[in-house]
Structure 1
Amino acid sequence: MTRQINAKPHVVIVGGGLSGLTTAFYLQRAIADIQLSILESAPQIGGVIQTEQMDGYLVEHGADMFATQPGDAFQLCQDLGIEEELLVPNVEGRGAMIVRGDQLHPVPEGFVLMRPTRTASILKTPLLSLSGKMRLLGERWIATRKETTDESVADFTRRRLGQETLDRIVQPLVGGIYTADHEQLSMAATMPTFVNMERQHTSLAAATAARQRRSEDSPERNSSGARYSQFRGFPKGMSSWLQTIADRLPKDAMRLQTSVRSVTPTATEGHDQRWDVETSEGKLPQADAVVLATPAAAAAKLCAPFASSIAEPLSSLKTASSVITIIAAANKDIARLPKTFGFVVPAAESKSILACSFANHKFAGRCPEDTTLMRIFMGGALRTDLLERTDAELLALIREELGTWIGWNGKAIWTKAVRWNNAMPQYHVGHLDRVGKIESGLAAYPTMALAGNSLHGVGIAPVIRTAKQAAARIAASLAVDSESGVPKP
């Protein structure tokens, strides 16, 4: 018996964060007449993207900007018609610094995460000893790895660039992105570009030379280590973006403070599946498709009763927690305020702070004049012990360390701690194999899709890409002809 498609298909989306809202937006574009139910357990949309406005301050609790490359996030802004509203980060202060001892030092000019592009900057940097510099610059003569199996970021960097470059430059830069244990973080899942450089050119140095011959290393990237001109923010903060998406959806689609207790397929496999969805508010009308736009653990729990082939590999994915302490301080109380966007701290320093960013250096108007808005990141996979500390205890550690590095006297206009528990996926070695198992399991459930940051990237753009792919998958499954069983043209 072939499935009869409802004239107005009902799609349930579990999760009202960026991935859930984006999935709904693109489903609505793909299917003009659709019933959407977006279920969010929290009292507000947004997930880990939250903006707070208070007394002249614009405070981001999570991400404060997004990269325009890859282009999925910027494309979403274009599809929403808001690309002209976007903010470009300030030109002055672009760049980051790294702690060594009691001082902050710039990331060497042209150092692109784990690829130096300027020999002179490596020779000049105080971040490395002479032997560390020679080991780094000798990378082109290091033998190419013959094995094609996955390896950790630490193993790759140690092998190609040396222990000191790993400890003093790569680990803090990577830690600032992933809050991860570099000894477990997968190269294949997080930095495949560098893996391919070694395989195709025998070394990162040879790959860099080839890129420079093709003029692929931009002057800005070479001078700052990151292309900040390719980032964008919003005048009213990141939450305004999500609210814009929500405003384009049917007003009755969003159901806040509604947790999902179960999703159950009505058929064992194929396009005959519909879904019974039980929530804290009762049972929903039967759904033609479901999208789980949730963290991996939540998706695994929902899938466990009917699809162990999906739930078990989902359950094996690890996460990390973090604390962001936000501090507003008068400039006069910071003796050596850096002009950069922020700094990162190597794990080798054995300190409490993972990274610190200056919100008002990135975008003007984030706080009153003569004040600085700092966001201090702590915890992550390497400092889980800090998550047990109280907000006051963490603030005491911050006062001591920032006093050393930037001369802050500890006086604050106000402080706020934001805790994100198990919010950061950890792409451990073998991650892509686990993803492959999850996607193989999903093949039996064409009317179910996953979206979010658990599988294919932790950044804003990769998350949006998963949402677009989820929408396309569901739209295709709902376009199955009831007679032939094949997608309608």
Structure 2
Amino acid sequence: MDDSRIATTKFSLAINQPYRVAIIGGGLSGLATAVQLHLANQSNESPLALVITVYEASDRVGGVIHTERIQSDDGSVSFLVDHGADMFATQPAAALDLCRKLGVEDQLIEPLPTRRGARICQHGKLIPIPDGFVLMRATKLMPMLTTDLLTWRGKLRWLAERFIPSSQPVGDTDENLDESVASFVQRRMGREVLDRIVAPLSAGIYTADVNQLSMRSTMGPIYAMEREHGSLAKATHVKRKRGEDSEERNSTGARYGRFRAFEGGMIELVRSLVSALPTDSIKVNSPVRSLDLVPGSNRSGNQVLLGFDSGTQETFDHAVIALPPKAAKRLLRTVSNQSSSTPANLIANTLGQIPSASTAIVVMGVRRADIAKDIETFGFVVPLSEGRRILAGSFASHKFAGRAPDDHVLVRVFVGGAMQSDLLDLDDQAIIELVREELSEIIGLSGDPVFAKVVRWNDAMPQYHVGHHRLVKKVRKALDELPSLDLTSNSLDGVGIAPVIRQAEVVASSVLESLQQRSNKVSPTQA
């Protein structure tokens, strides 16, 4: 066979052989990336021949998203229990948009219209968050002036915010600037607003230390308001005149109308993602132990060689690491021929600088008659200054229908986090008992729960410390030098379901673009 026929044969094999993509990790990041990649490729006029495989180390996919039905011992009542997130935000719109793509938007339910709102524990009492207060910005004046959460001294200090000069010139766009949430709030609004309102609300979301939590990475839009307008009060005035604050002004604390859940719990999102992938796309009980980058064969560009527990190895045209920072770091360390300056090693070192916090969720089904105090809201948060052993409590059955019988309440209480990690050394029964003691004082809980269980999530909450955005930039820059590799997780660009899905969409688009470029480069002379 002459050289031209050999080249043509190799070219035909190269263009007809499917591109293989490995997604390492079957949590939400990995599943969403796989689905977004699959759907984006299908929507192309000339879709690539693409085989996507998700490798999950455990026996199920979904990561921290899981739902179970728990019955009482006598089987008379049952509860729908989410182990992790029990809802998602519609802003950013990525999660809602994906539900539309999957054809499951009609399965979503909105929060119940009654009991909307949240409270803050102060001196053992649950006090409503001022109406119109969103995270750290008040969109109404009078609720802040009449709230029992602040003293008159604290209220006057909050009013002075409009006269506090910005730490940087208005309009400054220095990309290196950042400060902690504690520093920003205390500087602008005073210590009381920080300790009694903002800190517990922030801890309820990030389980973090506000003295280290990054304003830029967690409260970016609010951080930008100071730099654009000089104060939050001035920014709020501008937004009100533009009609941009109408929803915030009609909410109490959080914007509850902007959340959605599934009637059958958040596991339905995982099931929808799994159903959207071709059969046999997911491999559970398949931990990836090694990763290497090798020259491509009959392809343009490098390929990725994965090693598995069984001792087998497989080659892929592209791989996406969808693992928590520690696991991703370990895997990147297995790339051969590394020096301290190689991209894979730089990424591993950078990921090692992103700490994580652990938490435990105590889920209890209790009789409504066993609660003596008013709990007619969606939940409450607890300031660290209260000296209590819980971070927050959520009345899941107040938020969405079908979580508990009408005469019962499904309670989820959060323990641990960055500031009280020592509590997680206790065994499950001890944690349940301390939660019962706290709820006895806070909501007047008595009697035995119908059921109680502890769900532990170790190192599941990445901590976005001051300067986090610079770490993310370093990771992105190093990834640019590894065109066959991508990385996604909630440790980079946002915690929560919606930000994770938004990031998955970006990564999927990057993968598809890379593969299309490689496909376009294949020619008989290259083959």
TM range (shorter): over 0.9
Q: Distance in 2 between matches of 1:399 and 1:302?
A: 41
The correspondence for 1:398, drawn from 398, 411, 435, is 435
CA distance 1:467–1:202, change in 2 (3 Å): same
Is contact 1:274-1:288 (8 Å) kept?
Answer: yes
Paired residues for 1:280-359 under 5 Å: 280-306=309-335, 307-359=344-396
Cα deviation, residue 410, structure 1: 4.3
Is residue 185 of structure 2 the alignment partner of residue 157 of structure 1?
yes
Is contact 1:403-1:410 (8 Å) kept?
Answer: no
Cα deviation, residue 221, structure 1: 4.3
The correspondence for 1:94, drawn from 110, 116, 137, is 116
Question: Equivalent residue of 2:517, what SS?
Answer: coil
Question: Equivalent residue of 1:223, what SS?
Answer: coil
CA distance 1:331–1:113, change in 2 (3 Å): same
CA distance 1:220–1:116, change in 2 (3 Å): closer
Paired residues for 1:432-451 under 5 Å: 432-451=469-488
TM score, norm. by length of structure 1 = 0.96
Q: Distance in 1 between matches of 2:233 and 2:248?
A: 19
Question: Equivalent residue of 2:32, what SS?
Answer: helix
Q: Distance in 2 between matches of 1:424 and 1:410?
A: 33
Q: Distance in 1 between matches of 2:15 and 2:417?
A: 46
Is contact 1:271-1:446 (8 Å) kept?
Answer: no
| Letter matched to residue 241 of structure 1 | L
Is contact 2:226-2:235 (8 Å) kept?
Answer: yes
Q: Distance in 1 between matches of 2:484 and 2:388?
A: 48
CA distance 1:111–1:483, change in 2 (3 Å): closer
Paired residues for 1:89-488 under 5 Å: 89-146=111-168, 148=174, 149-219=177-247, 221-267=249-295, 272-306=301-335, 307-481=344-518, 484=521
When the two chains are superposed, the root-mean-square deviation of aligned CA atoms in Å is 1.9
Is contact 1:5-1:478 (8 Å) kept?
Answer: no
Alignment partner, residue 15 of structure 1: 25
Cα deviation, residue 364, structure 1: 1.3
Deviations 1:232-276 (CA, angstroms, capped at 9, x unpaired): 0001110111111101212211111111101111049x9511011
Alignment partner, residue 46 of structure 2: none
| Letter matched to residue 144 of structure 1 | S
Cα deviation, residue 7, structure 1: 3.1
CA distance 1:126–1:304, change in 2 (3 Å): same
Deviations 1:66-103 (CA, angstroms, capped at 9, x unpaired): 01111000000000011111100001011100000010
Question: Equivalent residue of 2:413, what SS?
Answer: strand
Q: Distance in 1 between matches of 2:70 and 2:90?
A: 28
Q: Distance in 1 between matches of 2:514 and 2:16?
A: 12
Q: Distance in 2 between matches of 1:98 and 1:222?
A: 19
Cα deviation, residue 178, structure 1: 0.3
Q: Distance in 2 between matches of 1:402 and 1:107?
A: 19
Alignment partner, residue 53 of structure 2: 37
Q: Distance in 1 between matches of 2:520 and 2:367?
A: 70
CA distance 1:281–1:145, change in 2 (3 Å): same
Give identity over the alignment, percent: 46
Is residue 35 of structure 2 the alignment partner of residue 25 of structure 1?
yes
Q: Distance in 2 between matches of 1:111 and 1:213?
A: 18
Is contact 1:175-1:182 (8 Å) kept?
Answer: yes
Cα deviation, residue 5, structure 1: 5.6
Alignment partner, residue 74 of structure 2: none
| Letter matched to residue 444 of structure 2 | G
Q: Distance in 2 between matches of 1:104 and 1:322?
A: 23
Is contact 1:22-1:468 (8 Å) kept?
Answer: yes
Aligned residues: 485
Larger radius of gyration: 2
Deviations 1:3-51 (CA, angstroms, capped at 9, x unpaired): 9566311111011111111111122123343212211011111001011
Is residue 84 of structure 2 the alignment partner of residue 62 of structure 1?
yes
Once structures 1 and 2 are overlaid, which stretch shifts more, 117-126 or 167-176? 117-126
| Letter matched to residue 69 of structure 1 | Q
